[in-house]
A and B are shown apart, each in its own frame.
Chain A
Amino acid sequence: MIAIVVGLLIAALFGLPLFLVLAAVALALFTGEDIPGSSVVIEMLRLASSPMLVAIPLFTFAGTLFAEGGAPKRLVSLSRELFGWMPGGLSVVALVTCALFTAFTGASGVTIVAVGGLLLPALVRAGYPEKFSLGLVTTSGSLGLLFPPSLPLILYAYVAGVAVDDLFLAGIVPGILLVVLLSLWGARQGGRGGVGTQKFEWASARRALREAAWEVPLPFVVLGGIYSGAVTVTEAASITAIYALVAEVLIYRDVPIRRIPQVVRSSMVLVAGILVILAAAFGLTNYLIDAEVPMEILGWMQGSFSSKWTFLLALNGFLLIVGSLMDIFSALIVVVPLIVPIAEGYGVNLVHLGIIFLTNLEIGYSTPPVGLNLFISSYRFGRSILELYRASLPFLVLLLLALAIITYAPALSLFLPQMFGHGGTP
Chain B
Amino acid sequence: MEGFASSLASTLASLPELGRFVALALPALAVVAAVAFVLRRTAPMRWLALVVDRGLTALVATLLLGMVFLSGLQIVLRNLLSSGLPWIDPLLRHLVLLLAFSGALLATGAKRHVQINVLGRLLHGVAGRVGGALVALLAAAISIALTHASLSLLVDELEFGEIAFLSIPSWMIVAVFPLSFLGMAFRFLFLAFQEVAGEAPAAPEAEGLDLVAEERA
Where the two chains meet, the residues of A that have a C-beta atom closer than 8 Å to any C-beta of B are: 11-20, 23-24, 27, 31, 36-38, 40-42, 44-45, 47-51, 53-54, 56-58, 61, 67-68, 107-114, 117, 231, 234-235, 237-239, 241-242, 245, 260-262, 264-266, 268-277, 279, 325-327, 329-330, 370, 372, 375-376, 379-380
Q: Is B199 an interface residue (CB 8 A)?
A: no
A91 to chain B, nearest CB (A): 22
Q: How far is the CA of A16 from the CA of B61 in the complex (A)?
A: 27
Chain A residues within 8 Å of B102, by CB: 272
B142 to chain A, nearest CB (A): 5
B135 touches A16 (CB 8 A): yes
Partner of A276, one of B18, B100, B115, B205: B100
Complex partner residue of B210 from A12, A112, A261, A266, CB under 8 angstroms? A266
The verdict on A265 contacting B61 (CB below 8 Å), with A16-B135, A20-B139 known, is yes
- Taking CB atoms, residues of chain A closer than 8 Å to B123 are 14
Q: Shortest beta-carbon distance, A250 to chain B, in Å?
A: 14
What CA separation (Å) do A50 and B209 show in the bound complex? 30
Contact B208 A27 (CB under 8 A): no
Number of interface residues of B (CB under 8 A): 70
Give the distance in Å from the alpha carbon of A45 to the alpha carbon of B209 in the complex.
31
> In chain B, what residue has the closest Cβ to A44?
B177
- In the complex the two chains form, is B64's CB within 8 Å of A27's CB? no
How near does chain A come to B47, taking the closest CB pair, in angstroms? 19
What residues on B are CB-neighbors of A24 within 8 Å? 142, 145
**A41-B177 contact in complex given A19-B104, A269-B112, C-beta closer than 8 Å:** yes
B12 interface contact, C-beta 8 A: no
Known contacts A40-B149, A270-B112; 10 additional CB pairs below 8 A are A15-B117, A17-B114, A37-B18, A42-B153, A44-B177, A51-B93, A54-B96, A239-B72, A275-B100, A372-B205
Interface flags for B57-82 (1: CB within 8 Å of A; 0: not) read 11011001101100110110000000
Chain B: interface secondary structure? helix
* Distance between Cα atoms of A54 and B67 in the complex (Å): 8
Q: Are A15 and B207 in contact (CB under 8 A)?
A: no
Decide: B211 and A113 in contact? CB cutoff 8 A: yes
Complex Cα distance, B138 from A202, in Å, reads 62
Establish whether residues A110 and B64, one from each chain, have CB atoms under 8 Å apart when the complex forms. no
Contact across chains for B100 and A109 when beta carbons are under 8 A apart:
no
Q: Residue A272 contacts which of B57, B100, B118, B145 (CB distance < 8 angstroms)? A: B100
- Quick one: closest A residue to B151, CB to CB? A38
Distance in angstroms from A48 CB to nearest chain B CB is 4
The residue in A11, A61, A111, A112 that gathers the most chain B C-beta atoms within 10 A of its C-beta is: A11
The answer to whether A41 touches B115, judged by C-beta atoms less than 8 angstroms apart, is: no
The residues of A that contact B95 with a CB separation of less than 8 Å are: 54
Contacts A41-B153, A47-B96, A58-B67; is A276 near B177 (CB within 8 Å)? Answer: no
- Of all chain B residues, which has the CB nearest A13? B119
Q: Quick check: B207 and A235 within 8 Å, CB to CB?
A: no
Q: Which residues of B contact A242 (CB under 8 A)?
A: 68, 72
CB–CB B120/A37 < 8 A: no
- Considering the complex, which residues of chain B in the window 99-130 have a beta carbon less than 8 Å from any beta carbon of chain A? 99-104, 106-108, 110, 112-121, 123
> How far, in angstroms, from A245 to B72 measured CA to CA in the complex?
12
Contact of B135 among A14, A40, A269, A330 (CB under 8 A): A14
A57 & B67 in contact (Cβ 8 Å cutoff): yes
Given A234-B71, A242-B68, decide whether A14 and B119 contact each other with a Cβ distance below 8 A.
Answer: yes
List chain A residues, Cβ under 8 A from B162.
none
Contact yes or no, B142 A23, CB < 8 A: yes
Most central of B61, B116, B205 by chain A CB within 10 Å: B116
Residues on A with beta carbons closer than 8 Å to the beta carbon of B74 = 235, 238
14 A-B pairs whose Cβ atoms sit less than 8 Å apart in the complex: A11-B138, A13-B120, A16-B135, A16-B138, A36-B149, A37-B149, A54-B93, A107-B207, A110-B207, A113-B215, A264-B57, A265-B61, A329-B114, A380-B209
The answer to whether the Cβ of B183 comes within 8 Å of any Cβ in the partner chain is no
* The residue from B139, B174, B210 contacting A17, defined by CB atoms under 8 A apart: B139
Whether B212 lies near A27 (C-beta < 8 A) is: no
B159 at the binding interface (Cβ < 8 Å): no
Chain A residue with Cβ nearest B89? A51
Q: A107-B207, A269-B106 are in contact. Are A48 and B116 (CB under 8 A)?
A: no
Complex Cα–Cα for A41 and B145 (A): 11
Q: Specify which of A61, A272, A380 is in contact with B68 (CB 8 Å cutoff).
A: A61
Q: Indicate which residue in A13, A53, A241, A262 contacts B96 across the interface (CB closer than 8 Å).
A: A53
Instruction: Indicate the member of B117, B120, B208 with the most A CB atoms within 10 Å.
Output: B208
Q: In the bound complex, do residue A36 and residue B94 qualify as a contact, i.e. CB atoms below 8 Å apart?
A: no
Q: CA A283 – CA B89 in complex, angstroms?
A: 25
Q: Which residues of A contact B209 (CB under 8 A)?
A: 109, 113, 376, 379-380
Contacts of B119 in A (CB 8 A): 13-14
**What residues on B are CB-neighbors of A265 within 8 Å?**
57, 60-61, 106
Q: Are B104 and A276 in contact (CB under 8 A)?
A: yes
A261 with B61: CB separation less than 8 A: yes
The reply to whether B58 and A268 form a contact with Cβ atoms under 8 Å apart is: no
Residues of B within 8 A of A67 (CB): 211
**Alpha-carbon distance between A12 and B139 when the two chains are bound, in angstroms:** 10
Asked whether A268 lies within 8 Å of B103 as measured between CB atoms, the reply is yes
Roughly how many angstroms separate A374 CA and B52 CA in the complex, as a whole number?
A: 36
CB neighbours (8 Å) of A274 from chain B are 114
